[in-house]
A and B are shown apart, each in its own frame.
Chain A
Amino acid sequence: MSVVSEPSSAVPQMAAAAAAKRLPLARIGIWAVTLFLCLTPFLLVIAISFGQKIEGASWEWAFSFANYQRVFVGANWPEEFTALYLQKLYYSLYYAVIASVLAVITAFPFTYLMTGLSKRAQSAWLVFILSSLSLSEVFIVMGWDVLLSNRSGLPMVFKATGLTQWLKDVGWFETLRDWGLANPRDVKFKTSVFATVLTMAYLVWPYAVILLYPPLSRLDRSMTEAARTMGAGPWTVMRTVVLPAVRLPLMGSVLLLFVFLLGVYVAVTVFAEPAKQTMAVSVYEAVRGNTLNAPFGSAQAVILLLTAGLFLALGQWLTRRNAS
């Protein structure tokens, strides 16, 4: 600073000293606000997670690990063990992994082809995809709900085109019933893992395109052209040139979408049967519902947070190992 560059002048020296005095204050202020805004909700959730539920009433502050214990073994342990909440955690991960991978796998070829279009067409697509982000989760779920409904959606198409009858004739209908994808009258897609994953992938698909667009558009096309002129087929080019070049952004996108999908609520409550619902739903039901058990909800939220953190760290580590 000026203290070093102008050692002979007394006035700038004083000004600089004053600035140096002010600066830490301002910096501390900014840090304080940032920390307050970022950390308070977390700290509050963590503090509440040690609270105690009063049966038949509300809850009170305490310092107990009972809520964490309940997540792993259930409320009636040791008389009885249940993996109920671990099962919910498993489904949180299950849907998020499948849907994020599905979204990136399908968004990748689309984005790759899009970057080959004219600048004008590219920006048109991008604007369209960006604007589709304004659709809320509720809206998207509603749309798919209608599309998969008995009287207005796919099952109606199945019935009207005679597909349902054909399935019954060849006997595959019984198999669908065994899989829970049909009732005695027609095929049904709600509730099912299929509908849940489909909607979740759809939900994050625009994000996948937007995340993949920058690396793919920066990709040097002369490399692929060089590979082609040297006789490599399109698939070989994709496998040996394009994919290795965008490996990191691909993994990054999957990780980001995965974490985003861990918290999906509406799609799961509508499309997943209770046996296959996630921890996010369980958190909400504990906190709001009729039990007013904020401590148990918070404990589940903390576990979900830690799991997400663990997966992110694992992803980072894999990425770094791949890169080196």
Chain B
Amino acid sequence: MTSINRRTLLKTAGSVAGMAAASSVIGTPLIAQSRSLKIGSYGGYFEDSFKEYVYPAFTEATGIAVESVTQPNSTDWLVTMSQATAAGNVPADVSLYARDTMIKASRIGGLLAPLDLTKMPATSNLDGYFIFEDTTGAIGVGAMSWFTAMVINPNEVEAPASWAEFWDSSKFEASLGLSKNFNSQFLDIVAATFFEGAETFSTKDGIVALVEKAAEIKPNVALWWSAESQMEQSMKNGDVIGGQYYLDVANLMALDGFPIKPIFPKEGNPQDYGSWCLSAISEKADEAAEFMNFASDPATQALMSRMIGTAPLVDQSKTDLTDEEFAMVSGAPSIKPAYEAYLDNETFIKETWEKMLAGA
């Protein structure tokens, strides 16, 4: 969810949706206004869309001006924020963190302020999974989510009913594109398909078993991609005819006529999400609460799904999204990644995974 290329792609395709609707000056600080809030989000198309659609609506509803802050991504931003917190002056009040980074921040300690959920009644719309609590209280409110889906080239193969079919070399020899990162959820797919899901991650033996099962798919993988653009190009070029890729981008590519089709097999697809978190030394707790309340509103969730391509964190029934719009960004079932295990055994999983890739 951080690569520039994805943004660019979304931008070109999304422009049809109404790029001309607002001007870019919105989202710059309005000094005259008394109440303001600095909000971080991933730079590029993502941040631009927030500045264009979400922040203006928020300012209109509450009178709080938003100053948009560019985050490079989640993990590097955490480094910036922890240094800034130590220095006593943070660049953003509210930051956007992926769940694993948020847990990391919680473990480092002293970086995130506990949130007062009673001031954000709209958060009751979210599934409890999206409100993250540690020992200090709730520290993150879900912002939006995204799926990494199974994709295939519909001109070359039939839609598989299960992820297990990707292991079939008679169909997929040297033809798949999978992510090379140890924590980009392929192991979660393996766990959901062949084992007991996130539970399997709890022991080292379980992790080794997962990686060994993943090793069996190696002859079928033509591309272990590290940048989204590699997978995008390879699907377009026919270098690969299936694999894992972002659901919203896959749908946009399909709309552009490229031979790609996202599938929800019976095990489902991994769902990752970002959270709004308040800096421990921010003095804007009230403004932040109003923003998180606003962002949790089903109408705002639907707005983000339409304009940014993220999956809503509330039930489709609570929004006015049509089935077609909803299918563009979301689906069922969803595989919940084993975030905690990835952090507890970080070095072990990474090295076991890389040994598998390297055949060492």
Shortest Cβ distance from B261 into chain A, in angstroms? 17
Contact partners of A293 in chain B: CB under 8 A? 347
Interface string of A260-300 (1 = CB under 8 A from B): 00000000011001110100000000001111110000000
Contact A56 B237 (CB under 8 A): no
Contact A183 B222 (CB under 8 A): yes
Residue A74 lies at the interface, judged by CB distance under 8 Å to chain B? yes
Of the candidates A152, A277, A290, which one forms a contact with B181 in the assembled complex, judged by CB atoms under 8 Å apart? Answer: A290
Contact B181 A274 (CB under 8 A): no
Interface residues of A in 69-91 (CB under 8 A from B): 74-76, 82-84, 87-88
Contact A275 B357 (CB under 8 A): yes
Which chain B residue lies CB-closest to A88? B358
Contact partners of A83 in chain B: CB under 8 A? 360
Interface residues of B in 343-357 (CB under 8 A from A): 343-348, 350-351, 354-355, 357
Contact A151 B346 (CB under 8 A): no
| Tally of A-B Cβ pairs under 8 angstroms | 102
Interface residues of B in 326-358 (CB under 8 A from A): 343-348, 350-351, 354-355, 357-358
Contact A183 B174 (CB under 8 A): yes
Contact partners of B354 in chain A: CB under 8 A? 84, 274
Contact partners of B104 in chain A: CB under 8 A? 56-58
Contact A75 B230 (CB under 8 A): no
Query: In the assembly, what is the distance between CA of A183 and CA of B220, in Å?
Result: 9
What is the number of residues of chain A that contact chain B, defined by CB distance less than 8 Å? Answer: 39
Of B22-30, B75-83, B191-199, the segment with at least 4 beta carbons within 8 Å of chain A is B75-83
Contact B347 A75 (CB under 8 A): yes
Residue B100 lies at the interface, judged by CB distance under 8 Å to chain A? yes
Contact partners of A270 in chain B: CB under 8 A? 230
Query: In the assembly, what is the distance between CA of A84 and CA of B354, in Å?
Result: 8
Contact partners of A274 in chain B: CB under 8 A? 180, 224, 354, 357-358
Residue A92 lies at the interface, judged by CB distance under 8 Å to chain B? no
Residue A234 lies at the interface, judged by CB distance under 8 Å to chain B? no
Query: In the assembly, what is the distance between CA of A289 and CA of B107, in Å?
Result: 19
Contact B360 A55 (CB under 8 A): no
Residue A149 lies at the interface, judged by CB distance under 8 Å to chain B? yes
Interface residues of B in 47-96 (CB under 8 A from A): 75-76, 78-79, 82
Q: Report the contact-size class of chain B (Cβ under 8 Å from the partner).
A: 35 or more
Given contact pairs A87-B358, A292-B75, A57 touches B107 in the complex (Cβ within 8 A): yes
Which chain A residue lies CB-closest to B98? A290
Query: In the assembly, what is the distance between CA of A200 and CA of B260, in Å?
Result: 32
Contact partners of A184 in chain B: CB under 8 A? 173-175
Residue B263 lies at the interface, judged by CB distance under 8 Å to chain A? no
Query: In the assembly, what is the distance between CA of A9 and CA of B143, in Å?
Result: 83
Given contact pairs A57-B108, A290-B100, A87 touches B344 in the complex (Cβ within 8 A): no
Which chain B residue lies CB-closest to A190? B239
Given contact pairs A58-B104, A87-B360, A190-B239, A291 touches B174 in the complex (Cβ within 8 A): no
User: Interface centre among B78, B236, B351, by most A CB within 10 Å?
Assistant: B351
Query: In the assembly, what is the distance between CA of A286 and CA of B347, in Å?
Result: 10
Query: In the assembly, what is the distance between CA of A74 and CA of B358, in Å?
Result: 13
Contact partners of B103 in chain A: CB under 8 A? 56
Contact B173 A275 (CB under 8 A): no
Contact partners of B247 in chain A: CB under 8 A? none
Residue A191 lies at the interface, judged by CB distance under 8 Å to chain B? yes
Contact B346 A180 (CB under 8 A): no
Residue B316 lies at the interface, judged by CB distance under 8 Å to chain A? no
Contact A150 B360 (CB under 8 A): no
Contact partners of A84 in chain B: CB under 8 A? 351, 354-355, 358, 360
Which chain B residue lies CB-closest to A83? B360
Shortest Cβ distance from A24 into chain B, in angstroms? 38
Query: In the assembly, what is the distance between CA of A183 and CA of B219, in Å?
Result: 10
Given contact pairs A151-B238, A275-B357, A56 touches B344 in the complex (Cβ within 8 A): yes
Contact B346 A56 (CB under 8 A): yes
Query: In the assembly, what is the distance between CA of A291 and CA of B107, in Å?
Result: 14
Given contact pairs A184-B173, A292-B75, A292-B79, A151 touches B351 in the complex (Cβ within 8 A): no
Residue B257 lies at the interface, judged by CB distance under 8 Å to chain A? no
Q: Which residues of A contact B (CB under 8 A)?
A: 53, 55-58, 74-76, 82-84, 87-88, 145, 149-152, 177, 180, 182-185, 188, 190-191, 269-270, 273-275, 277, 288-293
6 contacts between A and B (CB under 8 A): A55-B346, A75-B347, A82-B355, A145-B233, A150-B238, A269-B227
